[in-house]
Amino acid sequence: MGAVSANLRVLMMFSLLTVIFVAVGWAVGTYFMGNWITGALVFLVIAAALNFVSYFFSSKIVLASYRARVVNEAEAPRLYRIVRQVAGMAGMPMPQVAIVPSMNPNAFATGRNPTHATVAATEGIMQLLNDDELTGVLAHEMAHVRNRDMLVMTVAATLAGAVSFAARSFLWGSMFGGGNRDNGNFIIAIIVAITAPIAAMLVQLAVSRSREYLADREGAMMIGRPMALADALRKLETGNKARPMNMGNPTSASLFIVNPFRGGGLVTLFSTHPPMSERIRRLEELAGGLRR
């Protein structure tokens, strides 16, 4: 059932983001081509190609965007040992292990299924957390792997990034290039181009927040120590504010255990991650229940 549910989520993600991408194509066709059908069809073909690439290659794209390096046990004995220990507890295949050259303390998982998964940790998180806390974080990531969340969120990140790029290109082109400004649909096209990235972001938000709560719970239960993850999250919240990520794309923030990019105000309101205080509260409640 887990695989079936994950496949349905991926199909819904593909469909929703494809519709949004085609809407941007309609705007481009209306403004630049004088024919909305041509624009929509061109972007439908592009969306189909992106869906294919996202499914089979999004993991490699994400790892490359953060310059993550796949390592073996000799190169990263501590990280490799903990990942292997958690995989054994979960009864799962050993994933690839990668290190991200960033002092931002964070971790993420990517890949289309548990047999094609990579768990990545930053240099910063390995310096900040002790073994118990790092085990809690990696258990959270392995829970994502088991639930196949990483495919859903990686696809969302890849396609949402494409939507944002296409919409931004359209807006810059409309301001500084040619185009059919006399067309009565011009205002609608501008509205679509502005709202499409917001819609793509909301699709990400709807998926990722609920999956983060579930991965927190399942990761904590996997190792039997909810407070290990709760303590890690406290440190990560402070560490990420002090050293935000300086590479990659904010559209991939949902992949990480903690949002690695600096933000406030509306950015926080529309964060792909649930409030840290609520995540910690739920873990503390879970720990209390295990002690009773």
Catalytic, 73? Answer: no
Dihedral of the alpha carbons of 171, 176, 177, 180, in degrees to the nearest 10: 70
Residues forming beta bridges with residue 100, ordered by sequence position: 122
User: 133 near 227, Cβ under 8 Å?
Assistant: no
In angstroms, what CA-CA distances link 36 with 133, 246, 261? 53, 38, 36
Which of the residues 123, 133, 141, 218 is marked catalytic?
A: 141
Query: pLDDT (tens digit, 0 to 9) for every residue of the chain, 292 residues total?
Result: 455 565 666 667 667 777 777 777 777 776 666 666 777 777 778 777 776 776 777 788 889 999 999 999 999 999 999 999 999 999 999 999 999 999 999 999 988 788 989 999 999 999 999 999 999 999 999 999 988 887 777 666 666 777 777 776 666 665 555 555 555 555 666 666 677 666 666 666 666 677 889 899 999 999 999 999 999 999 999 999 999 998 887 767 878 999 898 654 444 445 668 889 999 999 999 998 887 6
Contact 25, 39 (CB under 8 A): yes
Q: Which domains does the chain have, with CATH numbers?
A: 2-63+150-195 (no CATH), 65-148+206-291 (3.30.2010.10)
What b/e sequence results for 33-47 when a residue is b if at least 16 CB atoms lie within 10 Å of its CB, and e otherwise? eeebebbbeebeebb
Dihedral sign, Cα of residue 100, residue 267, residue 200, residue 3: positive
Strand-pairing partners, residue 96, are 118
Cross-strand partners of 132? none
pTM across the whole model = 0.75
Please report the beta strands in 22-146, taking only residues with DSSP state E, as ranges in sequence order: 69-71, 96-100, 107-111, 117-122
